[in-house]
A and B are shown apart, each in its own frame.
Chain A
């Protein structure tokens, strides 16, 4: 009898509060599995954002801090500078990281802060009911772009991986998605690389995960996954944007 799949010890027993089919749940699991497999759960200190993942400190089975909206990379910096030998990660949404927290994100990367950032890009503000995010696509209808996002008034979606990969301090930057099994498995590999970059003290690592928001996109969970593939992936190409890890021989 072998166990093909079981729940990771990296997650607590608290059930997720996320909406049905929300891929936050998948990414939480991947991060938790990664920390368990790398044996760093006891050394990990995570920073939760403000947004749908605001309760992340209830879910990750390690020490956690709850940051103010957008400030997780700064809180993580403070923690890492006190405990340089511990594994410090943030888990943030697109409003948190690419809107109010842009400066914190850019400067943590510019400083080469040895932390790992898990960036959930679902092109919308979920918790507050579906407003436009900096990553909302052109034409995308949201609570605050009822006629569809228009460049002339709402500007253009921000490509964070491309932007941060220009910074010397960035050691590992990859964009992944979770819209099918193949992509989920690849996302886990990417998350593991990011944590390895931190373990090997290479500097700042970030994984951007194209994720779904069935509720605020007004779609069924499976339709939402399809929308990521058909629409989001076109504007946000998947791939590794920075990699200073030596290839494992």
Chain B
């Protein structure tokens, strides 16, 4: 398995390089370094000297991929791409274009994001699977039909609606929770309850339907009939045998997101005033802060790759037939 993991990690290097290349090409296709300078220097009284000064100070005065003005390896090495990319591979994100340290920003903002994402993820998984198993238990009955209709209805509504409705009902009308905001430490609970609840309700429709479809496929198999024939309770049949055998597709969807949990959610964090990482990349794109954009894209890709490796490893834990060679 170790060989497999090492091999997968080595594969990650060209993938990350490719992602980086694409990020650079796409970003600079839309924004030139002059545009970036203008955005950072403001709208008034900006002179050409100021623009050149900003580019020089931030290292954007070099060619993107090829420097014809120098000799030898420096033609490739003395470029924006190499200068800004290589450090990312040792997770040195450097400062943002506004001067603030990116790694520090990530470290600070990941905890509030995790504080919402982790309970939403764990409670959600438990609730969605239980609800789906309940529907499977009552499959073919009115309860199942009602549950499926409810799921379809819930998944048809925009996520933003849940946020605004949740804030309106629980925050504005009933005064149960602060409408938005965040406090670190123990005080955080009252700011987290509503976004977690809203996220759970917003996610129940499609997740429960997806899991129900998985379980329905399993429930008709011989081993389920055998388990029932042995006299096992239905709860045991469902939660132990059906769930256990449906784990591979569940893990495929679930484990891959675990490393990326701390990247947060844009809508939830923006509306609830959670100081997480959810809007960090979007804000950076709007501010044309390329240092943040390339760092966050790189980190996102890295975590996605990590998630895929973890998914593969998790298969071996739930299915002894799977071997990572």
Q: Is chain B found bound to chain A in the same assembly?
A: no
A residues with a Cβ closer than 8 A to B are none
